[in-house]
Amino acid sequence: MRVRLGISPCPNDTFAFHAILERRIDMRGYDIEAELVDVQTLNDGLERGRYDIAKASFHAALLLSDRYDVLDAGSALGFGVGPLLVAGRPGVVPGGGMRVLCPGETTTATLLYHCLHPHTGTVAQRVFSDIGPAVLRGDADLGVLIHEGRLTYERDGLVLVEDLGASFERLADAPVPLGGILAARSLTDGAAADFCALVR
């Protein structure tokens, strides 16, 4: 059975799916047609039915819950791993008139920004890897970083304004739910469970 799989090129996904992508485990008869794209492209692809199984933001998973289920394995959540709000210079804070870049309309990072700073600034979307450089150039006042950007922002000359993940953790007393593996409910019986076993 052919499965259309979508994952992001982030280290979490490429590590977790390496054995599947390289067919280093028993694939149980499944032929994987994989695509590696940024998380917002994955969210959009699931909305359009492009993937049978894909990594997605938990924000998107909520919006797509009528057609997709979250697998019991492969989710990304935890403490100290949430998105970061950064600026190109010290003293910048969220407020009216601020230009803010986020990594996609249905990403968890964008949802967190809106929840923690409602009606604050003008939000625009960019591919996650373009946000830091755009903020440094002055194309925006603030940027929300995910993936490796949250680890390299200081080296890149950016200034931390707020750890959005830590703010969520304090308010919710829970880890930040970033993303999970979604499987289409239209899959053949047992396919989602089989794929969950492959991820494990």
Which pLDDT score is estimated for 189? 82
Which pLDDT score is estimated for 31? 93
Mean pLDDT, rounded, for 1-8: 94
Mean pLDDT, rounded, for 38-56: 96
Q: How many helices, marked H, and strands, marked E, lie in the chain?
A: 9, 11
Which pLDDT score is estimated for 148? 87
pLDDT reading at 196 higher than 90: yes
Mean pLDDT, rounded, for 193-198: 93
pLDDT digits (tens, 9 = 90+) for 102-130: 999 999 999 999 999 998 889 999 999 99
Residue 75 near residue 16, CB atoms below 8 Å: no
Please report, for the chain, the start and end positions of each structural domain, with discontinuous segments joined by +: 2-78+176-199, 84-172
Per-residue tokens: 179: 């993303």
Which pLDDT score is estimated for 188? 87
Mean pLDDT, rounded, for 142-166: 95
Which pLDDT score is estimated for 65? 97
Q: What is the pTM of this model?
A: 0.90
7: phi then psi, degrees, rounded to nearest 5: -135, 165
User: CA-CA distances (angstroms) from residue 169 to 69, 77, 150, 173?
Assistant: 25, 11, 17, 5
Quick check: do 2-78+176-199 and 84-172 share a fold? yes
Which pLDDT score is estimated for 106? 97
Which residue in the list 59, 114, 119, 147 is annotated as catalytic? 147
> Is 114 in the active site?
no
DSSP secondary structure string for all residues of 9-66 = SSHHHHHHTHHHHTT-S--TT-EEEEEE--HHHHHHHHHTT--SEEEEEHHHHHHTTT
Mean pLDDT, rounded, for 67-82: 94
Mean pLDDT, rounded, for 175-196: 93
Superfamily of domain 84-172: Periplasmic binding protein-like II (3.40.190.10)
Mean pLDDT, rounded, for 66-95: 94
Mean pLDDT, rounded, for 74-100: 94
The β-bridge relationship of strands 68-70 and 176-184 is: antiparallel
Query: What topology is assigned to 2-78+176-199 in CATH?
Result: D-Maltodextrin-Binding Protein; domain 2 (3.40.190)
pLDDT reading at 54 higher than 90: yes
- Percent of the chain surpassing pLDDT 70: 100
Residue 110 near residue 145, CB atoms below 8 Å: no
